[in-house]
């Protein structure tokens, strides 16, 4: 989000920057160690000469564009089976969230390829890394990983601080159905939220689910029945959702009929308003006189002062 025109970095960007800084610090430390060793080997005279060199004039080594292979020869030379299938349902870990949960999810999906097949686990694991996590893997030293257990521990230790972004069970308490949200939308939102809570207790899950319901007939039904499991609650919720969907379908079917009636009524009204008025005034006057709605005025010539009477003009009303 931008504040006063200044871009605020996201959590993923901050973690990526931290990883880059840590890698740069390690590179500088390695470079310093290498220089110190070389100075000791070359002797005091050469060390003195190097000490007078301006550090700013030293050109840092260029960053490599290719990744070093962090695996041992045994893992690297392992021949993958032609029938090996890489699962695609696991989302890559980007450096935010519980690293332990990612390891468990990865192992559970890889069981069908051999639960204890270390080379396969090691070779497949980087496929499910992205952003800051992939940058971490790229910084591993060549030939340092000889087992999946070793890589998993290194991975968990490095991203241990990322667990602060994982929600606890209290997070579910803020999810409410609301006045205008359907039960189906509420259940969907709640299910998505539970994915962010690791090791969620089923009892806490059920309690939070019932607490977030909107007061109404379904809420009263749940309060009376008191379902003791999530499965029982979902069965009741499924029936209620079918009722709500049926009501919405009935409203949708009735709505076009009302609109057509309004359209027909407006159309008829417009035609009546636009209908031309062709009746003669003389006929209208006759109808008014015959119905004795008004009293006709005196005929011309019977006025007291006939000097102002125009005898050339005459109509049926006068």
282-307 pLDDT, tens digit each: 777 777 776 666 666 666 555 566 66
Residue 125 has pLDDT above 90, yes or no: yes
Is 273:262 a contact under the CB 8 Å cutoff?
no
Q: Specify the pLDDT at position 85.
A: 80
pLDDT of residue 1: 45
User: Given this model, what pLDDT does residue 2 score?
Assistant: 45
| DSSP H or E stretch at residue 135 | helix 132-138
To which residue do tokens 């005898």 refer?
Answer: 311
Nearest-CA neighbor of 60 among 92, 32, 89, 95?
Answer: 32
- Average per-residue pLDDT in the chain? 76
Q: Which residue has the higher pLDDT, 311 or 110?
A: 110
If residue 3 lies in a helix (H) or strand (E), which one and from where to where?
strand 2-3
Of the two residues 21 and 47, the one the predictor is more confident about is 21
Whole-number Å distance between alpha carbons of 239 and 196: 27
CA 56/CA 18 separation, integer angstroms = 24
Strand partners, 71: 145
167 vs 132, higher pLDDT: 132
Q: Name the residue among 199, 18, 8, 189 with its Cα closest to residue 96.
A: 18
* Predicted local confidence at residue 198, as pLDDT: 67
Q: What pLDDT, on a 0 to 100 scale, did the predictor assign at position 150?
A: 93
Average pLDDT over residues 162-184: 79
Ramachandran assignment for 131, one of left (phi > 0), alpha (psi -120 to 50 degrees), beta (any other): left
The pLDDT value recorded for residue 173 is 82
Q: What pTM did the predictor assign?
A: 0.39
Alpha helix stretches (DSSP H) within 159-276: 183-194, 202-211, 217-225, 230-274
DSSP 8-state symbol, 93? B
Q: Give the span between the Cα atoms of 270 and 277, in whole angstroms.
A: 14
Distance, CA of 91 to CA of 102 (rounded, Å): 9
Least reliable range by pLDDT among 155-159, 176-180, 226-230, 310-314: 310-314
**pLDDT tens profile 196-233:** 776 788 888 899 899 999 999 899 999 998 999 999 99
User: Hey, how many other C-beta atoms are within 10 angstroms of the C-beta on 149?
Assistant: 12
The conformation of residue 63, written as its DSSP 8-state character, comes to P
CA angle 130, 30, 52 (to 5 degrees): 135
């Amino acid at each position: 989000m931008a504040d006063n025109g200044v871009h605020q970095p996201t959590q993923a960007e901050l973690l990526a920057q931290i990883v880059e800084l840590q890698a740069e610090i390690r590179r500088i430390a390695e470079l310093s160690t290498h220089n110190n060793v070389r100075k000791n080997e070359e002797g005091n005279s050469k060390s003195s000469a190097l000490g007078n060199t301006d550090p700013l004039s030293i050109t840092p080594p260029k960053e490599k564009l290719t990744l070093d292979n962090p695996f041992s020869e045994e893992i690297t030379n392992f021949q993958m089976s032609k029938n090996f299938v890489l699962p695609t349902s696991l989302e890559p870990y980007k450096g935010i969230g519980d690293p332990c949960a990612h390891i468990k999810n990865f192992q559970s999906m890889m069981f069908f390829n051999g639960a204890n097949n270390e080379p396969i686990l090691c070779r497949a694991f980087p496929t499910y890394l992205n952003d800051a996590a992939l940058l971490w893997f790229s910084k591993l030293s060549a030939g340092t990983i000889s087992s999946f257990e070793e890589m998993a521990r290194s991975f968990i230790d490095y991203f241990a601080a990322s667990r602060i972004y994982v929600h606890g069970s209290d997070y579910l308490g803020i999810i409410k159905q609301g006045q205008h949200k359907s039960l189906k939308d509420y259940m969907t939102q709640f299910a998505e939220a539970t994915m962010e809570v690791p090791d969620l207790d089923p009892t806490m899950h059920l309690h939070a689910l019932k607490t977030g319901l909107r007061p109404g007939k379904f809420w009263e039904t749940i309060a009376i029945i008191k379902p003791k499991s999530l499965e029982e609650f979902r069965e009741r919720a499924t029936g209620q959702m079918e009722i709500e969907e049926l009501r919405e379908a009935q409203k949708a079917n009735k709505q076009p009929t009302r609109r057509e009636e309004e359209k027909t009524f407006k159309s008829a009204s417009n035609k009546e308003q636009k209908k031309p008025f062709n009746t003669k005034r003389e006929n209208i006057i006759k109808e008014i006189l015959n119905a004795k709605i008004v009293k006709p005025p005196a005929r011309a010539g019977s006025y007291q002062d006939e000097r102002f009477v125009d005898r050339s003009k005459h109509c049926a009303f006068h």
